Structure 1
Amino acid sequence: MITGLSNPKNKYHNTRHNLGSWYIYALAKKLNILLKEEKKFFGFIASVNIHSNNIRLFIPNIFMNFNGSAIYKVASFYNINLNEILVAHDDLDLECGKSKMKYSYGHSGHNGLRSVINYFNKKINFYRFRIGISRPKNKKEISSFVLSDPTIEEVNLIDISIQYAVRETLILLNNISN
């Protein structure tokens, strides 16, 4: 499964904290598939077959602090283990326009990742695509910063990093059966 952490789409889609969903929409577009709202999973889901592997794309449509419950619900339904999930999310510790894949355990203070780890209740490494948003100068502004829209310049940089992440994901998916 590939999932992008997010807050509810209607209110927060354009915010920095929803970059995980931006990535999933870009990946779905590249794979020429549409995500459909699935109320039982509290989000948007699509399925694509790559090298005889059924891959689920998923975007939770609930608050970030509860993303883990929706992701866990999908994973349980389709019998997917945490170490078989790629989680895309915004990252304050990366410069805006940078993205990195990481395979590790830990949330680094990200509430969406914390929720995923708590719901799976296991200390297991899993794949993450970290999409940089940079850090605000004032630590007290983090909450309002992640829940605000990026500038036009930041959107351009973010789009470049998401396209990079999509290309890397396609390489990873093409190597699944090898």
Structure 2
Amino acid sequence: MTTWLVVGLGNPGPTYAMNRHNVGFMVVDELARRASATFAAPRGMRADVATTRYAAGTLGGLGADADKVLLVKPRTFMNDTGAAVQKLSAFHGVDPAHVVAVHDELDLDPGRLRLKVGGGDNGHNGLKSIRAHLRTGDFARVRVGVGRPPGRMEVQAFLLSDFAAGQRADLAVDVSRAADAVEVLLGSGLVEAQNRFNC
């Protein structure tokens, strides 16, 4: 049995809930909804965690060979995401190869999705923090496109702004598709997930 840690990258609290920077939280929330799993805040872990299983191609699956899946929303701010990831990984004995970071990606247009393992942080402070705390970049990333800021708008202001009301329907589709990609990654591996979802 494998234990997976699927961490959504974002900032805690209602102020940030619909920010572009919080799309990782949105995907993890969708995964928890599918699994009928409830978030709790384990003592000392600095995160909200929903625990479920993956078996027979679905979250919430049963069976002696079901993998354990921890769905994680750090309570730290983005720049310190790695502190929560490191604590949970150490406590549950999760190898970096079984850590999946779900995050916003400026270099992909909305509606596009990419999965990969390893690589740099591309200026993303959440990824940078995870790399620093795990002392490796060899974890999976599910990159959810949010596009570049319009005109001369600063990147930080863009990422910390909400998705517009007119974008919410498309956002729901993107979040659902990213959740599908995570499930395929858990069940069938990176190559199969890339073949099905990279665009």
TM-score by length of 2: 0.82
Q: Which range moved further: 58-67 or 148-157?
A: 148-157
What residue in structure 2 maps to residue 64 of structure 1? 78
What residue in structure 1 maps to residue 143 of structure 2? 130
2:28 corresponds to 1:24: yes
2:97 corresponds to 1:83: yes
Q: Which range moved further: 157-166 or 59-68?
A: 157-166
Cα distance in 2, alignment partners of residues 139 and 39 from structure 1? 43
Cα distance in 2, alignment partners of residues 63 and 138 from structure 1? 27
Kept in 1, the 8 Å contact 2:20–2:163? The answer is: yes
Kept in 1, the 8 Å contact 2:142–2:182? The answer is: no
Quote the sequence identity (%).
Answer: 28
2:112 corresponds to 1:108: no
Secondary structure in 2 aligned to 1:17? helix
Aligned pairs, how many?
Answer: 175
Cα distance in 2, alignment partners of residues 5 and 100 from structure 1? 15
RMSD: 1.6
What residue in structure 2 maps to residue 38 of structure 1? 42
Cα distance in 2, alignment partners of residues 85 and 43 from structure 1? 15
What residue in structure 1 maps to residue 175 of structure 2? 162
Kept in 2, the 8 Å contact 1:99–1:162? The answer is: no
The one-letter amino acid paired with 2:105 is D
What residue in structure 1 maps to residue 63 of structure 2? none
What residue in structure 1 maps to residue 62 of structure 2? none
Kept in 1, the 8 Å contact 2:48–2:73? The answer is: yes
> Structure 2: 5+ residue runs without aligned partners?
56-65, 190-199
The one-letter amino acid paired with 1:21 is F
TM-score by length of 1: 0.91
Query: Which residue, 133, 146, 163 being the options, matches 2:159?
Result: 146
Query: Which residue, 4, 8, 11 being the options, matches 2:12?
Result: 8
Cα distance in 1, alignment partners of residues 152 and 76 from structure 2? 25
Deviation at 1:142, TM superposition (A): 0.6
